[in-house]
């Protein structure tokens, strides 16, 4: 059974750096083809893909946010960490991590519950 859970601060100040951790179980990030991605959703708005990391440390970032994002993995801890620099109120959103299904076009077959991050002074 695959499960994922996001953790991190619920409130950050403008210009600060956000660090979110995805802790998962039921799969290993050392298995060929497997990945973990991050997606966010501002209140009342659409889903937006942010980044993903594969078992072989291949990393992909949204072109519009690439300069602000870093994704890393700790295979031994079953964790993936996303950092986003220079946070702004427009970055207020629910942030999800999800398991990337290993075949075909990258997609998300299992999702965490999400964590709401508010950016405010």
Partner 1 sequence: SYELTQPPSVSVSPGQTARITCSGDALPKQYAYWYQQKPGQAPVLVIYKDSERPSGIPERFSGSSSGTTVTLTISGVQAEDEADYYCQSADSSGTYLVFGGGTKLTVL
Nearest residue (CB) to partner 1, 37 versus 93: 37
For 53, the 3-state DSSP assignment is strand
Nearest residue (CB) to partner 1, 81 versus 114: 114
How many angstroms separate the most distant Cα atoms in the chain? 43
| Length, in residues, of the chain | 121
8 binds partner 1 (CB under 8 A): no
Question: What count of Cα atoms within 13 Å lies in the side-chain half-sphere of residue 66?
Answer: 6
106 binds partner 1 (CB under 8 A): yes
| Nearest to 94, CA basis, from 111, 74, 116 | 116
Query: Interaction with partner 1 in 38-57: which residues (CB under 8 A)?
Result: 39, 46-49, 52
The residue ranges that bind partner 1 (CB under 8 A) are 37, 39, 46-49, 52, 60, 62-64, 96, 101, 104-109, 111-114
């Amino acid at each position: 059974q695959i499960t994922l859970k996001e953790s991190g601060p619920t409130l950050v100040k403008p210009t600060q750096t956000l660090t979110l951790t995805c802790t998962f179980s039921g799969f290993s990030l050392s298995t060929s083809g497997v990945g973990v991605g991050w997606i966010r959703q501002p209140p009342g708005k659409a889903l937006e893909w942010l980044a993903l990391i594969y078992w072989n440390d291949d990393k992909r970032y949204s072109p519009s946010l690439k300069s602000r994002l870093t994704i890393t993995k700790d295979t031994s801890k079953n964790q993936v960490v996303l950092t986003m620099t220079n946070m702004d109120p427009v970055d207020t959103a629910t942030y999800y991590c999800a398991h990337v299904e290993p075949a075909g076009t990258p997609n998300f077959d299992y999702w965490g519950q999400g964590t709401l991050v508010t950016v405010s002074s």
